[in-house]
Amino acid sequence: MSIAEDTPRPDAAPAGVAAATDPAPGAAAATFETIAEVVATFTPVAHAIAAAVGPRCEVVVHDLSAEQVDLEHTVVAIENGHVSGRGIGGPSTSLGFDVLARDTEDHDAFGYRGSTRDGRELRSSSVYLRNRAGRIIAALCINVDVSALRTIQALVGSIEPSAPAPVVGTSGGEQEVVGADIGDVVDDMITRGIAETGKQAAALTREERVRVLGLLDEKGATSVGQAMPRIAARLGVSRSTAYQYLEESRRGV
């Protein structure tokens, strides 16, 4: 961003960034109207954070600006993508579904727990960027692989136990799942949906299967391409039956 030669008014926004008037919950003071502005501003920020923290720190910029966001391809800038196995054009995480389903709410979260598909623990923070209308158009996410640290803490804890680090802003307590493929994220969401019934998939009643479809639909999982065949397979029903259950859940049957 350029700096104006004249002294700016106290209420003036930086050049190229529109001032937020009556921002939506969670909206930052500075807003961005295009994803190009976000990438230009936060790509060097991502590089700086990753360089300072080290190779176990992944920093990602997600493009959420489209009217119908393709959650399979949201990553537009990334540092240390080996942490999650993602690169440019990679997918969103499980929390991305919930964020877009409830766009007007404040989803910024700091120091919450996440995990990779291979079981490594992450400590994560996410900040969502909005335009002047208050709509989320991008996200800056930081994921630090703390699995090695946990091993060290376990060894030290055998001598002197230490208190766990505080967690702030846990997005409703839901653990984020970070995967290199959107199918990994959807599979985990299905697993969580089934787990909420307290039963194995094979033991679910018809009503419980409808409820699982409803839960997944609320979180936006059913909107992902090829999600319904995955859901049907996990619930042990045909695709047509899965779609029938989905419609029943939407009608409140």
Summarize pLDDT for 128-177 with one digit per residue, the tens.
999 999 999 999 999 999 988 766 766 666 665 444 444 444 444 555 66
Looking at domain 18-179, its CATH class is: alpha beta
Q: Output the pTM of the full model.
A: 0.60
194-221 per-residue burial string, b: 16 or more CB within 10 A, e: under 16:
beebeeebeebeeebbbbbbbbbbbbbb
Give the type of residue at 210. V
- Domain segments of the chain as ranges: 18-179, 188-251
Q: Which of 138, 157, 18 is nearest to 66 (CA)?
A: 138
Residue 240 has pLDDT above 60, yes or no: yes
Q: Is 60 exceeded by the pLDDT of residue 92?
A: yes
In what helix (H) or strand (E) does residue 78 lie, and over which residues does it extend? strand 75-79
> Radius of gyration over alpha carbons of the chain, in Å?
20
Are 43 and 61 in contact, with CB atoms under 8 Å apart? yes
Token couple for 105: 């709410």
pLDDT value at 79 more than 90: yes
pLDDT tens digits for range 96-139: 888 888 888 899 999 998 888 888 899 999 999 999 999 999 99
Helices 227-235 and 182-195, interaxial angle, to 10°? Answer: 40
